[in-house]
């Protein structure tokens, strides 16, 4: 088999076989297919697409490029959750402990920030000492004893995705539905959970900008999971404005802690409840009515069980539990700049990707792969879509490191706000469920 023929076949819009896809992935990981040929193949896939069967074969070939994380030693129903990436998305920090407190076993694989979107590992690392580098034995032991543990991708877990993603990132082939589906699902399926709940983000701050594309991605990922013998359900949620009010690593951990203490923002709590409802559906094999799922979530937050799980998880993974008990000890910016509105009206839009990019410019995300994150910086949004604003009102606080240049990031956040004279409704949060 030759890479040239495989590239040509896809370039001409034909379906690749299982053998051809496996050959391309294996040879690229081994280094016998060079970057330029893989880049050409990825561009051909970007332009001509892949059907569900091809995408499954690609996912499977990528999954098998490295280690599989065995979870047989865990007693109970094992579940993972994945977000396709958003701004202010600290949902996993709340949902993991909530599901564990509800009796599920959460063996979670998390990632770092990608582009303008944040990553769970970067957020958790703002807690002094916290590490996602657990051995497989510790991972299984922690899930058994605490109910939740979080690991990060290692060089031996789906190395094909690491290598392919690095090429996609520099060849404008990231935003392809089959390539995203295969990238996400190859990593998720390498950890052998029984079930997976997906949060597919839709809107200006998401990789999928339209509901149609998000539905296609969700359907593809659900089908891939089912073909691999897993139970999968996807919630499509709105990312046309940031989730909650905090953006930035330590700020998001603080907001997650407030939520676990029963004082979280309404949109974050609603999303946690919607995802918990799907996880309960998969574990109990029946659709739990929305109000019953919500009551169960409210109960484990009100009685402190979910918060206690979070503290135990942080401690078990080397983090300082005092920072969770006393979140004011988390890294905190030494300077806060208020951004005010020049006019009166209603918040019509908050350009969500712009907010993510502005946060990155302050140091909350990586502009290059070697950038060092400052956990303390970010935004606190005082106004969200639908809110009334008077001229001079504070729209947001900008938490900065005064030793950096912060003007451009601050201005970018201000420019992300659109104030309109007409009445604006708050945005709907849950857009669809695919299961």
Give yes or no for residue 237 binding ligand URA (CB under 6 A).
no
Would you count residue 184 as binding ligand URA (CB under 6 A)? yes
Q: DSSP secondary-structure letter at 363? A: T
Nearer to ligand URA (CB atom), residue 179 or residue 355: 179
- The answer to whether residue 183 is catalytic is yes
Computed on alpha carbons and rounded to an integer, the radius of gyration of the chain in Å comes to 21
Short-list 148, 231, 219, CA closest to 188: 231
Residue 203 interacts with ligand URA (CB under 6 A)? no
Of 38-46, 180-188, 296-304, 406-414, which segment contacts ligand URA by CB under 6 A? Answer: 180-188
Task: Say if CB 352 and CB 204 are below 8 A apart.
Answer: yes
Rule CB under 6 A: which of 240-279 touch ligand URA?
none
Structure tokens belonging to residue 344 = 């009166």
Q: In this complex, which beta carbon is closest to ligand URA, that of residue 176 or of residue 374?
A: 176
In terms of Cα–Cα distance, which of 413, 246, 398, 409 is closest to 327? Answer: 246
- On the 0-12 / 13-18 / 19+ scale of CB atoms within 10 A, 366 is middle
For ligand URA (CB under 6 A), the number of binding residues is: 10
Q: Which CB, 84 or 317, lies closer to ligand URA?
A: 84
Q: Which stretch binds ligand URA (CB under 6 A): 91-99, 179-187, 195-203, 213-221?
A: 179-187
Give me the torsion for CA of 393, 396, 401, 403, rounded to 10°.
Answer: -40
Q: Indicate the residue among 147 and 203 with the shorter CB distance to ligand URA.
A: 203
Instruction: Decide whether 185 or 268 has the Cβ nearer to ligand URA.
Output: 185
The CA–CA distances, whole Å, from 220 to 57, 210, 229, 347, 381 equal 12, 16, 14, 35, 34
Residue 135 annotated as catalytic: no
Stretch that binds ligand URA, among 61-69, 71-79, 172-180, 265-273 (CB under 6 A): 172-180
Cα–Cα dist 250/264, whole Å: 15
Indicate if 346 belongs to the active site. no
User: Which residue in this structure is represented by tokens 């564990």?
Assistant: 100
**C-alpha span between 160 and 163 (Å, rounded):** 5
Smallest distance, Å, CB 4 to ligand URA? 26
By CB under 6 A, name the binding residues for ligand URA.
84-85, 111, 114, 174, 179-180, 183-184, 207
Active site residue ranges: 82, 161, 168, 183, 187
């Amino acid at each position: 088999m030759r890479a040239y023929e495989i590239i040509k076949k896809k370039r001409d819009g034909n379906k690749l076989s299982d053998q051809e896809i496996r050959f391309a992935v294996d040879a690229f990981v081994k280094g016998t297919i060079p970057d330029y040929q893989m880049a050409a193949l990825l561009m051909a896939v970007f332009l001509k697409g892949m059907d569900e069967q091809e995408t499954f074969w690609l996912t499977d070939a990528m999954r098998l490029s490295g280690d599989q994380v065995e979870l047989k030693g865990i007693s109970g129903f094992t579940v993972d959750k994945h977000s396709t990436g958003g701004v202010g998305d600290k949902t996993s920090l709340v949902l993991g402990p909530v599901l564990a407190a509800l009796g599920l076993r959460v063996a979670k694989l998390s990632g770092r920030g990608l582009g303008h979107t944040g990553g769970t590992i970067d957020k958790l690392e703002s807690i002094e000492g916290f590490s996602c580098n657990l051995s497989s034995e510790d991972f299984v032991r922690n899930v058994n004893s605490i109910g939740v543990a979080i690991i990060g991708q290692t060089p031996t877990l789906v190395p094909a995705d690491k290598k392919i993603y690095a090429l996609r990132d520099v060849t404008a082939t990231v935003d392809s539905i089959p390539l995203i589906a295969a990238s996400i699902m190859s990593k998720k399926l390498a950890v052998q959970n029984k079930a997976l709940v997906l949060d597919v983000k839709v809107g200006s701050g998401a990789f999928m900008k339209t509901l149609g594309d998000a539905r296609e991605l969700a359907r593809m990922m659900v089908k891939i999971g089912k073909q691999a013998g897993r139970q999968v359900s996807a919630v499509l949620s709105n990312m046309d404005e940031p989730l909650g009010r905090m953006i930035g690593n330590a700020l998001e951990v603080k907001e997650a802690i407030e939520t676990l203490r029963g004082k979280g923002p309404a949109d974050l709590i609603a999303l946690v409840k919607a995802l918990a409802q799907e996880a309960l559906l998969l574990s109990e094999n029946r659709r739990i009515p929305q109000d019953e799922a919500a009551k169960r979530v409210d109960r484990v937050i009100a009685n402190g069980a979910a918060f206690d799980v979070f503290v135990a998880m942080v401690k078990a993974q080397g983090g300082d539990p005092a920072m969770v008990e006393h979140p004011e000890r988390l890294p905190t910016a030494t300077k806060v700049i208020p951004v005010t509105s020049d006019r009166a009206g209603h918040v019509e839009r908050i350009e969500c990707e712009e907010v993510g990019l502005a946060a990155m410019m302050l140091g909350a995300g990586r502009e290059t792969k070697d950038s060092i994150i400052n956990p303390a910086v970010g935004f606190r949004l005082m106004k969200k879509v639908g809110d009334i604003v008077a001229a001079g009102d504070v729209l947001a606080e900008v938490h900065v490191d005064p030793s950096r240049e912060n003007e451009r990031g601050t201005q970018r956040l201000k420019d992300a706000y659109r104030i309109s004279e007409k009445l604006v409704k708050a945005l709907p949060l849950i857009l669809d469920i695919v299961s």
